[in-house]
Structure 1
């Protein structure tokens, strides 16, 4: 279905913006060896658990999530994307923005490139797209 991992990723974020759980699940591999971790959430393993979580999330409406600053590590059959997700949402105080660090892993199979892992975690509240550091700090 997806000729490239980039195409699968673009469809993933478009499905979030449209609150289209059906389209979103087309991006995911159709097997039990998939994993999803939402910010602050438990590790979800398997197609049914992943699908149920996204249906619950998207039932509340579209998500304004913009991927930014991707670092892509690819091989012949897999592609790992680490990026920053910029979330914009409404609050009683007005429109707010938050950031998550995200890793998406895609594998190439008989039906094209499909997602096998999505792991997002909250970025520090002081982080913004222009001041995030891409260079590692002290190595231990």
Structure 2
């Protein structure tokens, strides 16, 4: 059985799109095609322990996906891109089912990508709970606020 070739992500944005698409599909194999094969990769899910290395990260995603796909959508992405690395700080909006219907839960996330021979790959994902209002308000730098 042939393995699917690793896709080339020419930009960090394309890698990020594939990351959230893998979450929405609940597909750990697709998820791991976004991650670097480097042993120094790190993933921290909200309320979980730090997960180190591709094997442990794969297991963590497989465990999360046992409950099904995750309806996650990135919002308010602040991207800082250099020649070989990119940092995206954003709000993950997760749609969850509640007894009253669907609701949106916000998480702050930092996604770090590194450029290598096969294009851009994720090396860090760190998410933590955010206030319900996070998608409405950002605290701008006071020095940049014009009155």
Structure 1, unaligned runs of 5 or more: none
Residue 128 of structure 1: CA displacement? 4.2
Which stretch of structure 1 is more off in the superposition, 113-122 or 88-97? 88-97
Q: What is the match of residue 120 of structure 2?
A: 113
CA RMSD of aligned residues (A): 1.2
Distance 1:103 1:124 in 2: 16
How many residues are treated as equivalent by the alignment?
A: 135
Tell me if 1:40 matches 2:47.
Answer: yes
Distance 1:31 1:90 in 2: 36
Shift of 1:124: 2.0
Kindly name which structure, 1 or 2, has the bigger radius of gyration based on alpha carbons. 2
Deviations 1:14-65 (A, max 9, x none): 1111111111100000121100000111111111111100011012111111
Contact 2:91 2:134 in 1 (8 A): no
Q: Which runs of 5+ in 2 are unaligned?
A: 1-7, 143-147
TM-score normalized by the length of structure 1:
0.92
Paired residues for 1:1-140 under 5 Å: 1-125=8-132, 127-130=133-136, 132-136=137-141
Structure-2-length-normalised TM-score? 0.87
Alpha-carbon distance in 2 for matches of 1:69, 1:134: 13
